[in-house]
Amino acid sequence: MTTSNKLEVKNLSKNFERKISLSSLSFIIKQGEKIAIIGPSGAGKTTLFNLFTGSLPFEEGSVDIDGHPLEYWKRKKQLANKIGVIRQQFDLVDSLPVIHNVLAGRLKDWGFFKSVWSLIYPQEKQIAFNALKRVGIEDKIFARTSTLSGGEQQRVALARLLVQKPEIILADEPVSSLDPARSEDILTMLTKLADEENQTLITTLHSVEFAKKYFTRIIALKNGKLFFDLPAEKVTTEELTNLYRLKELSP
């Protein structure tokens, strides 16, 4: 097992009904890297994440985590310890109080009865409280999730990730439904938390500006292909213009 190669993607391809969604992607991500994946809509960013979480099967290529294929971690029921996800729509259960949404990050280690009992009498309350304190909303611990604002809900999702403690965080457009000030706030927190826990962070983003500001490496996708893969400071304006250009002018 090579400790430095956290996530290794080799010749990964995915087709949807004859349409190529991802073609032959390869890259290596090391432990503790902070990566932004950018690219125009439809470039395959979300598809890539769905392949990483195992919610979509892929036809060709391989995805290895810590030197073992996804399937291996899935079989060992360890995938949730390796990979955690945070999405643009937060995907929280609105009708539950915040504490249960946070403690959902513990479900992987809980048995059935503990899970049932916790709904009535919350278990491991201290863990949830600490996580919420780190994201700054510990006073909302018993509030109903649906009563929270968008920014607060995103913090709840972050607190869940803190409780889940995955080694790799996949953040799928984590700030696209927030205003610029709140986006910066969440991104600062996300990168800070990932640093503190020495986690690997992979984020898809619409905003190039944010990508350059908060991340160390930028991977650009276009039409399912790798467009560039560069350290953040080396990305040039010209490359970005090419990335987002609608169509080539000459046939």
Partner 1 sequence: MMHDIIDSFDRRKRFYINLLLILIFLWSLTAINWNEDLVHPGGGVMIIQILKSILQPNLSFEIIQIALESTWITVVYAVAGMTLAILYGSIAGVLASGILTNNRILKKVSVGIFRGILSFTRAIHELVWAWLFVASFGLSPYAAIFALAIPYGGILGRILADALNDVPKQPIQALKLAGASNWKCLFYGYLPFVWNHMLSYTLYRFECAIRSSTIMSFVGLGGLGYQIQLSLADLKFDEVWTFLFFLILLVVIVDLWSGLLRNSNNSKFSAHALLRYFSIDRLSIYIFTLLVCTSWYYVIFVQQASLLKLFSSENAQYALKFFTGLLGLNEVQPAFLNFDYWKTAIGLTWETLLMSVMAIGIATIVTLLTVIPAARNFANGTLTASSSFWQWLSFGIIRIAYIFSRAVPELIWAMLIVFLLQPGLLPGALALALHNFGILGKLCAEVIEEMDHKPVRNLSTAGANKAQMLLYGVLPMVMPKFLSYIFYRWEVIMRTTIVVGFIGAGGLGQEFKLSMSFFHYSEITLLLFCYLILVFIADFFSEWFRKAAK
Beta carbon of residue 32, minimum distance to partner 1 (angstroms, whole number): 21
Residue pair 18/83 in contact (Cβ under 8 Å)? The answer is no
- Total chain residues near partner 1 (CB under 8 A): 38
Does position 107 interact with partner 1 (CB under 8 A)? The reply is yes
Helix pair 150-164, 180-196: axis angle to 10 deg: 10
CA angle 107, 74, 65 (to 5 degrees): 110
Output 99 or 211, the one with its CB closest to partner 1. 99
- Note the helical H segments in 22-88: 45-52, 70-75, 79-82
Does position 142 interact with partner 1 (CB under 8 A)? The reply is yes
What is the spatial distance between Cα 212 and Cα 227, in angstroms, rounded to a whole number? Answer: 16
CA angle 12, 79, 62 (to 5 degrees): 15
Does position 71 interact with partner 1 (CB under 8 A)? The reply is no
Output 53 or 216, the one with its CB closest to partner 1. 53
Beta carbon of residue 129, minimum distance to partner 1 (angstroms, whole number): 7
Q: Return the residue of 34, 160, 217, 222 that touches partner 1, per CB under 8 A.
A: 160
- Specify the stretch interacting with partner 1 by CB under 8 A; choose among 2-10, 16-24, 85-93, 238-246: 85-93
> How big is the chain by its Cα radius of gyration, in Å?
19
Q: Return the residue of 9, 36, 65, 85 that touches partner 1, per CB under 8 A.
A: 85
Q: Return the residue of 60, 71, 91, 209 that touches partner 1, per CB under 8 A.
A: 91
What is the spatial distance between Cα 251 and Cα 239, in angstroms, rounded to a whole number? Answer: 20
Q: Return the residue of 5, 13, 15, 96 that touches partner 1, per CB under 8 A.
A: 96
Output 143 or 208, the one with its CB closest to partner 1. 143
* Environment class of 247 (CB within 10 Å of its CB; exposed 0-12, middle 13-18, buried 19+): exposed
AA identity, residue 110: W
Interface with partner 1 by CB under 8 A: which residues? 53, 55, 77, 79-81, 83-85, 87, 89, 91-97, 100, 104-105, 107-110, 112, 115-116, 119-120, 125, 129, 139, 141-143, 160, 164
